Amino acid sequence: MTPPASHAPGFGPFAPSLAGASVLSLMEHRPDAVDAILQSAGILAATPRAEWPQLLTGRMIALIFERPSTRTRVSFEVGITHLGGHAVVLAGRDMQMGRGETIEDTALVLSRMVDAIVLRTGPHATLEELDRHATVPVINSLSHAHHPCQALADALTLIQRFGTLRGLRVAYVGDGNNCCASLMIVGALTGMHVVAACPPGYTPDPEIVAWCNQMGTSTGGGASVTDNPQSGVEGCHAIYTDTWISMGDEQEADRRRKDLDPYRVDAALVGLARPDAIVLHCLPAHHGEEITYEVLHGPQSAVWDQAENRIYAQAALLGHILA
C-alpha cells in the first residue's frame, strides 16, 4: 500500500486541510496549504519522474474537457501517470452531459466511478454545481472566473527564478481575465504584490482585488490596478500577459485588439522592468498581438518553464488531495 503524502519520502509537508478537498479557486484555501503544494511541486520538479512516489496508485481521475486543451490535458495526464494513477479523459461532446444530462446526475454517477473530477469549462457556476453534487473532490482546470492550476504553476516558476515569492512584484499586462485573477489570489496568499495594468473595461473583478488586499495584511502580499502599462511594469520582477481574445470572445475580436493594442508586451516595455525580470505567458500566444515573438522567445522568457511546471503543480495538488 502506498503511504500517505505525509510519509512519502521527499514529497514535502502534507497539508491536512487539502485531504479530500475540492479546488474551485485558491480563495478557498489557507496560505499554509498553498505553500505546502508549492513545496511539493518544487520537489517533484527536481526529481526524475521515474523516481516519483506512487501516491496515486489505484486512483482514477476523470478529466473532463468542455473547452479545447493542449497544456492542461497533457500536463494532467503526465503528472497522474508518473504518480501511479490513471486519467480517464472525457470530451464534453462525447458525454451525456453534452446531450442534456444534468450536472447533478453526471456528478452522482462519476462519484461512484472515480476518485476525483477535473473539469475545464466556461461558466464558473458549472463547477460550483458539479461540486455541490459530487462526493469526490472537484478541481477547476479552467473556468471564466478562475484558473488556479495555472496560478500554482506561475508561482512555482517565480520560486525557481527568485528563490521566494515574498516581496516579489509581478505586473500583469492586458486583459484582467481568469489568469490575472488567479495570479492575484496566489500572490496574496504567498506574499507577492500583483499589479494589473489593464485598459478601462478590462480590469479584474474589484471584489477579488479587495480580497487580495485583505489577505495581504497577514502575508505581505496584495493587488492593485492601473491603466498605465509603463508604470505598472516599472521595477517589477516579472511581466505576465495572456491572449487578448479568449475562448468565447471571438465576436469582439476587432474591438478587443484595438482596446488592448497599447498593452502589448514588447522589448521597450520589458526594458522598464528590473534587469533580471522574467516574462510569463500562460499560452497559447499570438505573436505580435499581446506579445512579440522576440520577447516570447527571448532570453528573459520563462514561458517554457512555466508550461512544464503545470505538470509539477497539478501533480502536487492531486497528491495532497488524494494520497
The CATH fold assigned to 5-146+309-322 is: Rossmann fold (3.40.50)
Structure confidence at residue 248 (pLDDT)? 72
Q: Check pLDDT > 90 for residue 64.
A: yes
Q: Check pLDDT > 80 for residue 185.
A: yes
Torsion region of 230: left, alpha or beta (phi above 0 gives left; psi -120 to 50 gives alpha): alpha
Mean pLDDT of 213-223: 98
121's grid cell: 469549462
| Beta strands in the chain, from DSSP E residues, in sequence order | 60-65, 86-91, 116-120, 138-142, 169-173, 193-197, 222-226, 238-241, 278-281
Domain ranges across the chain: 5-146+309-322, 149-306
Structure confidence at residue 186 (pLDDT)? 98
Q: Check pLDDT > 50 for residue 88.
A: yes
Q: Which CATH architecture has domain 149-306?
A: 3-Layer(aba) Sandwich (3.40)
Q: Check pLDDT > 80 for residue 96.
A: no
Whether pTM exceeds 0.75: yes
pLDDT tens per residue across span 242-269: 999 987 778 889 999 999 999 999 999 9
Catalytic residues, by residue number, are 120, 147, 150, 242, 282, 310
Are domains 5-146+309-322 and 149-306 of this chain identical in fold? yes
